[in-house]
Amino acid sequence: MKYMYWLLIFIPITLVARFGLQLNDGLVFLFCCFGIVPLAAVLGDSTEQISLYTGPKIGGFLNATMGNVPELLICGFAVQAGMYSLVLASLAGSILGNILLVMGMSIFIGGLKYKFLPFNKNITHNNFTLLGFAAFSIVVPFFFKYSGGGGITEHSLSNFSLALAVIMIVLYLLGLIFSLITHRDIFDDEDEDEDGEKEAPEWSFKKSLSVMIGATVCVAVMSEILVHTVEGAAEQFGLGEAFIGIILIPLLGNVAEHASAIMMAVKGKLNISIEIAVGSSMQIAMFVTPLMVILSALLGNTMEYVYTPMELLGIIISIVIAATVFMDHKVNWLEGAELIAAYIILGGAFLVFGIG
């Protein structure tokens, strides 16, 4: 991913355009997009180096977590600005992008090298079980809001959203304890352990950690600028908020996950790809989204945990299609192409029809 580093020049360009020259929102938003891409790559490289010290399971979790930092910060600033529809659209898009596009590209490219890509069924089962609960949790408030009659008030829905967010975060933390501590042995990849081939880290642990922290700070600055220019950019470029939130912002934030997941699949290490892509979607659904609800409550105006019909449909379809692909415990390039096609169809629908 080092070839993306030259795009770091767009960080000072963005700052000058925003605070020095005070250019229009469209140009600043465009510069900001180009600046976030290499920062995502830097985060990916630093977490990949750290994973060589911590092992594949924790490494995959860390990669997925840091890969979500751009979305987390962008959504955090959007919550602060009261742009709740953009927040939910971006988070829905992150789930779609990781499950369909990132996982699809990994399976497709890895499948061109290997006839079949086997994986640890316990890893996929754990992630998709939590994703299934996440799907259940977003369906419940949606249907109660739209079919609950006059008894559903904004106040009651906000309170329910906050309680639901707390439950989901608790369950997410319990899932981490299960997979990283109490039942860590069932997620070990015996095939990878037997290979005996361990890649040597290029950076020291201290350097990797310092780069990761520095990149996170830069992402925070760029995210705040992006949020404050997104409405003006949408108007200037004629793009709907749904398309920007569901497709554009997640694509920017998923650069690191894309590259890391694909590289692992090419090496035949699909388990790590799954931890990065599917695990990232699970983390968005079970932790990041509920965290945004709690943040909004702390700011005094609780965000309703209710997606639009199209966002809900996209999330449910993506989880079902991806789960179907993994049912036989091995995947091939055609199944990867199917996931990519599903993402293109959904993305095209949001672009053409411009609705969330």
pLDDT above 70 for 174: yes
pLDDT at 194 over 90: no
Q: Which residue has the higher pLDDT, 259 or 175?
A: 175
Calculate mean pLDDT across residues 238-242: 70
Q: Tell me the mean pLDDT in the region 334-343.
A: 91
pLDDT tens, residue by residue, 81-122: 888 888 888 888 888 888 898 888 888 988 888 888 777 777
Please tell me which residue, 218 or 237, carries the higher pLDDT value. 218
Question: With 70 as the cut, is the pLDDT of residue 33 above it?
Answer: yes
Say if CB 104 and CB 337 are below 8 A apart: yes
Q: Residue 117 forms beta bridges with which residues? A: 331
Instruction: Kindly report the three-state secondary structure assignment for every residue of the chain.
Output: CHHHHHHHHHHHHHHHHHHHCCCCHHHHHHHHHHHHHHHHHHHHHHHHHHHHHHCHHHHHHHHHHHHCHHHHHHHHHHHHCCCHHHHHHHHHHHHHHHHHHHHHHHHHHHHHHCCCEECCHHHHHHHHHHHHHHHHHHHHHHHHHHHCHHHCCHHHHHHHHHHHHHHHHHHHHHHHHHHHHHCHHHHCCHHHHHHCCCCCCCCCHHHHHHHHHHHHHHHHHHHHHHHHHHHHHHHHHCCCHHHHHHHHHHHHHCHHHHHHHHHHHHCCCHHHHHHHHHHHHHHHHHHHHHHHHHHHHHCCCCCCCCCCHHHHHHHHHHHHHHHHHCCCCEECHHHHHHHHHHHHHHHHHHHHHCCC
Q: What average pLDDT does the structure give for the chain?
A: 80
- Structure confidence at residue 59 (pLDDT): 65
Q: What is the pLDDT of residues 58-75, one digit of tens each?
A: 666 776 677 677 777 778
Predicted local confidence at residue 298, as pLDDT: 92
* pLDDT at position 15 over 80: yes
* Whether the predicted pLDDT of 311 surpasses 60: yes
Q: 271: pLDDT confidence band, cut at 50, 70 and 90?
A: confident
| 2-353: CATH topology | A middle domain of Talin 1 (1.20.1420)
- The pLDDT, as a whole number, for residue 187 is 58
Higher pLDDT, 147 or 229: 229
Asked whether 238 and 81 are in contact (CB, 8 A), the reply is: no
Look at residue 138 in the predicted model and tell me its pLDDT: 87
Mean pLDDT of 173-179: 84
Residue 344 has pLDDT above 80, yes or no: yes
CB atoms closer than 10 angstroms to residue 153:
10
Q: What is the pLDDT of residue 57?
A: 63
User: Looking at per-residue confidence, does 226 or 316 come out higher?
Assistant: 316
pLDDT of residue 196: 47
* Domain boundary assignment for the chain: 2-353
- Quick one: pLDDT at residue 354? 61
Residue 163: the pLDDT is 92
